[in-house]
Amino acid sequence: MSVATARKILVTSALPYANGSLHLGHLLETIQTDIWVRFQNTRGHNCLYVCADDAHGTAIMLKAEQQGISAEQLIDNVRAEHKADFDDFLIKFDNFHSTHSDENKEISELIYNRLKNNGHIAERSITQLFDPEKELFLADRYIKGTCPKCKTDDQYGDNCEVCGATYSPADLLNPRSALSGATPVEKDSVHYFFKLPEFETMLKDWTTSGSLQPQIANKLNEWLEAGLQEWDISRDAPYFGFEIPQAPGKYFYVWLDAPIGYMASFKNLCEHSGLSFDDYWATDSDAELFHFIGKDIINFHGLFWPAMLESAGFRKPNAIYVHGFLTVDGKKMSKSRGTFITARNYLKQLDPEYLRYYFAAKLTANVDDIDLNLEDFVQRVNSDLVGKVINIASRSAKFITKGDSLLSAELANLELWQQGIDVGKQIAKHYEDRDYSKAMREIMALADATNEYFDAAEPWKLAKQEDTAAQAVAISSQCINMFAQIMTYLAPVLPQTVVKAEAFLNTSLSWEQEPTPLLSHEINKFKAMMSRVDSDKVEAMVETQKAELAKEIKAAPAPAKSSDIEPIAPEIEFEDFAKIDLRIAKIVHAEYVDKADKLLRLQLDIGGEQRQVLAGIRSAYEPNQLIGKLTVMVANLKARKMRFGMSEGMVLAAGPGGKDLWILEPHAGAQAGMRVS
């Protein structure tokens, strides 16, 4: 590839929060991003990848306090842990930085001052609940009390996990601070807001420009049509972060300075590499800029962030690539089920390239959730990588290295070689489109064709006869050349194994041009490149995670006994009960509710009509687990306008809340619309 055609690309992925260990959900995103970056570089482009820890916020301040260390020490410790995990998973950052940095402070203040000078910052007083003992304002998640609707205790300040009601923290009965136990008091405070609604026209144009996947563009359009709200970008002291210029005691909320972490990390890279910051971030930049993020933060990255860049005079990304969530064995990651797996506990037992390949084999260009099925994981890695790819090299090499170790001077099967060249073009397109699963299928199909050729030619028989021994060498040379092709195509996914393959092949593999065959070329003795996945090690990984959970539970305060059942409510008359119209409902659609940690939005078919219900069951169910199920709903409950939209009824569920919550499901034979009597 000529210098003239080489692309100049900057890539970022979402910043992990600096108060805990990385888990496999984090790795889904960074592996997806790393594969794409490595692909671009192996094609001869100049593709840079920067990231950072998201290191500010009340949660970090409180955790540091809990550990008896400074916030600075906490984030330094976590950053070192995160960087070690990323390194061991072969994530090749050009720079991994922190939002708590001089560069981030400088750019945050620059952007804020530009927003303010452009008239895009509003100031107004708001009333919040305040912890008089901790002397800090309380976010909703730090307030607990009794639900004003169903009277269940120990509910969060914005939503009841039992009945699904939403409310303001001020509506809670017997509210208390989750930090100190003190009764919160109302207190006024001036906050700073970014005037997002003023960018509505620009955002409508940008979200339909092709920079987003269609599913994401449609979702953002829904929010645009519903009307944008001003975005709170400030928090009051005490807070771990950067103070807002000319605003003593006011700090930038993470919504503002977290994404600036991308820019700050790149600026830090520029300072010790000679790169130009403006070449990539100025509005007239000819560089390409891409963000890889999860679907849980699309409203922020797709609306707030582009608008802030627009006002501050920086370029917007060429595209935002959004991925779904990770489940394990069909379930959301759960510590109690042993399916919440940290990066380090995986690495203690298993090769990082197993996971890199498995994710690649399942990732598409869409926003679908990805399931790590542990049994399928073992079978697929063993079958594809060990049984197909590595197997080509291991059984072909013995017919070459027992002689002079020279490959044949000519290819024995030009048609098979050309098949690999032709499919390579399609594989490259799949990588570019982030449709890795299609790329892996094409690669494995090429491996299958190579193994079939080897089996049909039977070189082990030919090698026994002096007059046909050269044929055995030619066949094996052909297969080793196919192996070199295949490893070239797998290089973005298996960088560690590619190094071993290059040592065996005695050459470097490059994809800048079409692969060229190795003819009359000396290879080295074959050494094992990858072992099979041991199911026992997978089980050990799960058990290690469960053991860690047990330690956490032992160290935590004792939970309420399961025998502490909520008391039966006061008696009612039969006429009171008869007023309730319970119906069988079919869940035709389910989705997460933006900015609501506990709610799912359900579309329910009750026979002749459909209803939208906001249900507080997010902690127990993934949306895709619910679609198609029958449940029971209160059909004649008056529709109520909630914080996150209209709720037209209520689904019935049992359990204390959290993950221990089960929707009611009727027996087979019940149909949508039937009355429960």
Quick one: which of 494, 596, 546, 375 has its CA closest to 38? 494
Can you give the pLDDT at residue 134?
86
Amino acid, res. 136: L
Residue 210 confidence class, pLDDT cut points 50, 70, 90 = very high
Mean pLDDT throughout 76-85?
97
Confidence band, pLDDT 50/70/90 cuts, at residue 335: low
Element containing residue 101 per DSSP (H, E):
none
Under the banding of pLDDT at 50, 70 and 90, the label for residue 139 is confident
Tell me, what's the pLDDT at 571?
67
Distance (Å, whole) CA 52 – CA 67 = 23
What pLDDT was estimated at residue 236? 95
pTM score: 0.81
Q: Which of 37-41, 368-372, 617-621 has the highest average model confidence (pLDDT)?
A: 37-41
Q: Is the pLDDT of residue 338 over 70?
A: no
Mean pLDDT of 302-308: 95
For the chain, what is the largest distance between any 2 Cα atoms, rounded to a whole number of angstroms? 99
Element at 439 (helix H, strand E): helix 436-457
Dihedral pair phi/psi, residue 582, rounded to 5°: -95, 130
Across the range 375-387, mean pLDDT stands at 97
Query: What's the confidence (pLDDT) of residue 554?
Result: 61
Q: Which of 346, 345, 329 is nearest to 337 (CA)?
A: 329
Residues 235/250, Cβ–Cβ less than 8 Å: yes
My answer on whether omega of the bond before 238 falls inside 30° of 0, hence cis, is yes
Token look-up 């299609």 returns: 438
For residue 12, the model assigns a pLDDT of: 97
Residues contacting residue 421 through CB under 8 Å, at least 6 positions apart: 485, 514, 515
DSSP 465: S
Residue of 321 and 598 predicted with greater confidence? 321
Whether pLDDT at 266 is above 50 = yes
Q: Backbone phi, then psi, for 370, in 5-degree steps?
A: -115, 130
Residue written as tokens 């034979």?
Answer: 669
Q: Taking a C-beta distance cutoff of 8 angstroms, is the pair 532, 21 a contact?
A: no
**232-241 confidence digits (pLDDT tens):** 999 999 999 9
Q: Is the pLDDT score of 561 beyond 50?
A: no
More confident of the two residues 653 and 335: 653
Residue 3: predicted pLDDT: 40
Q: Please state the three-class secondary structure of 566-612 as a single string.
A: CCCCCCCCHHHHHCCCEEEEEEEEEEECCCCCCCEEEEEECCCCEEE
Mean pLDDT, rounded, for 58-62: 92
Given the DSSP bridges, would you call strands 326-328 and 370-372 parallel, antiparallel or unpaired? parallel
For 24-41, the pLDDT digits (tens) are 999 999 999 999 999 999
Question: Exposure of 654 by Cβ count < 10 A (0-12 exposed, 13-18 middle, 19+ buried)?
Answer: exposed
Residues 153-182 pLDDT 10s? 888 887 887 777 778 787 888 899 888 888
Binned at pLDDT 50, 70 and 90, residue 563 comes out as very low
Q: Is the pLDDT of residue 657 over 80?
A: no
215 Cβ partners below 8 Å, 6+ apart? Answer: 322, 366, 367
Q: pLDDT at position 557, please?
A: 46
Is pLDDT of 224 > 90? Answer: yes
Amino acid at 341: I
Rounded CA-CA distance 478/621 in Å is: 51
Average pLDDT over residues 288-299: 94
DSSP state of 387: I
Question: Residue 569: which pLDDT band, with cuts at 50, 70 and 90?
Answer: low
- The rounded distance, in Å, linking the Cα atoms of 523 and 414 is 21
The count of C-alpha atoms lying within 13 angstroms of the C-alpha of 655, restricted to the half-sphere facing its C-beta, is: 16
